[in-house]
Amino acid sequence: MNAQRFTQQNVCRLGLLYALWALMAVSAIPSQAVAAEDEWSTGCRRKPTIVLVHGAFADASGWADVIKRLQKQGYTAYAFANPLRSISGDAEYLRYFLGTLTGPIVLVGHSYGGAIITNAATGNTNVKALVYIAAYALDEGETISEANTLGGGHSELSEHLILRPFPGGGTSDADAYIDPAFFQELFAADLREKDAAVGASSQRPAAASVFNEPSGPPAWKVIPSWYMVARDDNTIPPEAERFMARRARARTVEIRSSHVAMMSHPEAVTELIFKAVGCR
């Protein structure tokens, strides 16, 4: 009788211990799932920092409507102030800026800004994706002037630049502006005339030397890339954009847009960023 009672008691204790062990095992599953969801592969769970890089003849304010959409979805976004002095120098400046950020980063570049993210992201393991918006995804040793001829395209941009001296430029360099009379046609054909006029008056120049400076090792060779081709672009030929997108093996979308797609089609640009993040 005592032996039977002892056996039953032990069976009860063992059953209770098993139940507790099973409960602990089950309760551990959600914590493991949460840990997994914190990984970059589920980007919607762990939001990266979005860094947006403008190009020549523009400034950081061109990203305003995109930033509003990103912030509405809870993303931290920075519109980086591109110095527009040299590919190597501007990329180094961005590299220092990125060094102040923690966690995953998605870099977005427009126009000349694409050349900068291509160089600045190289070797930075925090940069998880590159997004090119009608931008230069240059190869090593390639210049912007050369890239404009890729795919058989042609740009009239160089024919409508106004050069002005700047300190230190000497006789070999100058600030390049788009002639305001051609600004809307070349740069912002699908913006309202009054908005294009403001852009023409407030444009930030780039040092003319940037157009012939060879690019460094491209980050798109190791970092996944997305590309938006602007079919109606009169600054970078759409043929060149398609060529660079294919070469970078970028996930590519095309829209009917002028060069400033982030201003005329901010919703489409934001959607492409979400795809790069992994939320679409």
pLDDT tens over the chain, length 280 residues? 444 444 444 444 544 444 444 433 333 333 333 333 344 554 465 799 999 999 999 999 999 999 999 999 999 999 999 999 999 999 999 999 999 999 999 999 999 999 999 999 999 999 999 999 999 999 999 999 999 999 998 999 999 999 999 999 999 999 999 999 999 999 999 999 999 999 999 999 999 999 999 999 999 999 999 999 999 999 999 999 999 999 999 999 999 999 999 999 999 999 999 999 997 6
| Rg of the chain taking only CA atoms, in angstroms | 26
Task: Note whether 115 and 122 are within 8 A (CB).
Answer: no
Q: State the pTM of this model.
A: 0.85
Tell me what pLDDT residue 196 has. Answer: 98
Rounded Cα–Cα distance for residues 168 and 63 (Å):
30
Q: Report yes or no: 228 and 269 within 8 Å, Cβ to Cβ.
A: yes
Closest-CA residue to 211 (of 131, 278, 149):
149
Q: Which two tokens stand for residue 116?
A: 């900068």
With contact defined as beta carbons under 8 Å apart, do 70 and 270 qualify?
yes
What per-residue confidence (pLDDT) applies to 213? Answer: 98
pLDDT for the residue numbered 39: 47
Half-sphere exposure in the Cβ direction for 181 (13 Å, CA): 4
CA pair distance 117, 105, nearest whole angstrom:
12
CA atoms of 155 and 143, how far apart (whole Å): 14
What pLDDT is attached to residue 50?
A: 98
DSSP three-state, residue 3: helix
Residue 45: its pLDDT value, please? 57
Please state whether 141 falls in left (phi above 0), alpha (psi between -120 and 50) or beta: left
Q: What is the pLDDT of residue 44?
A: 64
Q: Two tokens at 260?
A: 């400033």
Report residue 6 as tokens. 């002892």
Residue 119, both tokens? 């160089």
